[in-house]
Amino acid sequence: MKRRALLAIGLGAYTLALVIIAPATLIDAGLKRASDGRLRLAEAQGTLWSGTGQLEIRDTGGRTGIAKSLAWRVVPQSLLRGHLVCEVGLEQATKRFPVTVSLSRIELANADISLPAAALGLAVPQLAPLELTGEVQLQVSSLSIARDATRGSATLQWRAAGSALSPVSPLGDYELRIKGEGPAVHATLNTLQGPLRLDGKGSWTHGGSPAFLAVARVPPQHQQQLAPLLRLIAVERGDGSFELELK
């Protein structure tokens, strides 16, 4: 029995050593496989335990996209509690946020992520023709994602929103609130300010397809300038309103 225990300890130590020295490039391979090439970790340096790289968000063809510098460090003490906590930082941020990974879920807390608005076109291909501009701020206070349930909330703000094809700039500031309530995730879009009014609601149920309906309302003084832009992605309903259904 003592011999078996020593063998188990030895195997455990060997496995831990492999994890510590495993190259960070393995993360890129995992992201590529899980996202069908939409997420990549370029210029990866270091190990699975601690490293840096360029986190890339790519289009559906995996060709063009945006990149953010990324750094991570695994907290060793977390392994004693049966899960893995990784401190993540973007763009040389002084404040990092924790990502907790266990066998059943992934948890994010106190995350504040800034991206160019072009990321919206990469995430939602229907928006790509608009060549979006501005800055997107994603704030996550606490969010838990499991195989069959999502709990917590996140807020996405699009500041100085615009389009390279529009003569009106900026179009406004907008906020998308996301709330996970177990098997369903609900999202609500509101206008904070600006000439173009955007409102919308949607939901996503685990095992189903997401559905979101947004309505854009253009004031009379801007209809001649903005209507051609909105017709690229939405259906005109009259009285300056356009409907966009995202699936």
* pLDDT of 11 higher than 60: no
Instruction: Read off the pTM.
Output: 0.84
Query: What phi and psi, each to the nearest 5 degrees, are found at residue 167?
Result: -80, -15
The band of 3, judged by pLDDT with boundaries at 50, 70 and 90, is: low
> Do the bridges between strand 184-193 and strand 84-90 make them parallel or antiparallel, or are there none, so unpaired?
unpaired
> Which pLDDT tens digit goes with each residue over 12-51?
443 444 455 467 788 888 888 877 888 898 999 988 888 9
The tokens 């890339």 sit on which residue?
56
> Mean pLDDT over residues 166-192, rounded?
94
- From residue 236, alpha-carbon distances to 40, 55, 60, 83, 228 in Å are 37, 38, 27, 50, 10
**10: enclosing H helix or E strand:** helix 2-21
Amino acid making up residue 113: I
> Which pLDDT tens digit goes with each residue over 106-153?
899 999 999 999 999 988 888 989 999 999 999 999 999 888 889 999
HSE (CB half, 13 Å, CA atoms) of 161?
23
CB 182 within 8 A of CB 207: no
The sign of the torsion formed by the CA atoms of 161, 180, 58, 24 equals: positive
The tokens 């996503």 sit on which residue?
204
